[in-house]
């Protein structure tokens, strides 16, 4: 068996085409969707992520604003900028690129963003709404995973789903979304006993643990759908410098029924769902302005 490849690039391109049409329609009505991105420090990976998000905005007809601060920036300056953006009706989404320097209170910064502009879906109120099945901005990576599962018509109701990782950004919201879709969900982590027992019974396996090639083919149930959220740059060996996921793709694809590659899988969908949330925010703002 060789797994079906779930192409994140192709699905992303399709969705972004639809987004561009929506953004153009909103702009024609006097409301161009606008995303403000704040970058603190010189982390190279963060700079790449921000650059990709800004480029995605431009291609989709979404206005982007970028605010950069040095590593030693005062938290009060960043919070002041967020307050300004909160008060600006022409800005529909605010994103603070993580991680922040250690002298920042990350929670306080995220909570400072108005809920209706929290297009990353990290504000506690959005998380709470998601947990209760209410309308909310959903964190972009798990939201993108759900779109990928939808694209292959994955049977979620009654399925056994295993999520490896319990982060607030991916693992926890991923579990909530799968539960809402009718799956029976197990969340595994570094303290899980006999991880292989859980992964081998998963119809849907989501790896978001941050360890390169951690999930091997012998941990996968034959025919399972494997979603690789990880993105790691290898440091040693013949593949040093290359990107890989949390799944050992070569061995897993011989067992799985469907699998996402790295790169070209979940990554492009994460940015796409950020753009989706920004356009939705603009649509809501326009509707509100019209009463």
Cα distance between residue 54 and residue 109, in whole Å:
21
Cis before 35? omega within 30: no
CA angle 63, 120, 173 (to 5 degrees): 155
State the first-to-last Cα distance of the chain, in angstroms, to the nearest integer. Answer: 56
CA angle 85, 57, 142 (to 5 degrees): 90
- Please choose, from the candidates 288, 246, 253, the residue with its C-alpha nearest in 3D space to the C-alpha of residue 267: 246
- Active-site residue identified among 22, 53, 63, 253: 53
Q: What is the DSSP letter of 167?
A: -
- Active-site residue identified among 22, 63, 118, 120: 120
Long-range contacts from 17-20, C-beta under 8 angstroms, 24+ separation: 19/60, 19/62, 19/272, 19/275, 19/276, 19/279, 20/59, 20/60, 20/61
- Active-site residue identified among 97, 117, 172, 221: 97
Cα distance between residue 250 and residue 34, in whole Å:
40
Catalytic, 248? Answer no
Catalytic, 72? Answer no
Catalytic, 194? Answer no
User: Which residues carry out catalysis?
Assistant: 53, 97, 120
């Amino acid at each position: 068996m060789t797994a079906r490849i779930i192409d994140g690039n192709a699905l992303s391109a399709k969705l972004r085409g639809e987004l561009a049409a929506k953004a153009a329609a909103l702009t024609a009505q006097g409301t161009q969707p606008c995303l403000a991105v704040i970058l603190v420090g010189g982390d190279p990976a963060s700079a790449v992520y921000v650059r990709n998000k800004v480029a995605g905005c431009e291609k989709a007809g979404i206005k982007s604003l970028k605010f950069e601060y040095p590593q030693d920036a005062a938290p009060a300056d960043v919070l002041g900028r967020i307050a300004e953006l909160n008060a600006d009706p022409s800005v529909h989404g605010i994103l603070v690129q993580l991680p922040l320097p250690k002298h920042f209170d990350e929670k306080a910064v995220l909570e400072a963003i108005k809920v209706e502009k929290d297009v990353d879906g990290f504000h506690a109120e959005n998380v709470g709404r998601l947990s209760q099945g209410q309308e909310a901005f959903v964190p972009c990576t798990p939201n993108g995973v759900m779109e990928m599962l939808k694209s292959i018509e994955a049977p979620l109701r009654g399925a056994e789903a295993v999520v490896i990782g319990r982060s607030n950004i991916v693992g926890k919201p991923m579990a909530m979304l799968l539960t809402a879709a009718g799956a029976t969900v197990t969340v595994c982590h570094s303290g899980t006993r006999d991880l292989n027992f859980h992964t081998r019974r998963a119809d849907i396996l989501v790896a978001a643990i941050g360890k390169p090639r951690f999930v091997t083919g012998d941990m996968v149930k034959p025919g399972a759908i494997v979603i690789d959220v990880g993105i790691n740059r290898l440091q040693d060996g013949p593949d040093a410098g290359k990107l890989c996921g949390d799944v050992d793709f070569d061995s897993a694809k011989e067992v799985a029924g469907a699998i996402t590659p790295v790169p070209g899988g979940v990554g492009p969908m994460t940015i796409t769902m950020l753009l989706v949330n920004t356009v939705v925010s603009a649509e809501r703002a326009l509707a509100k302005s019209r009463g």
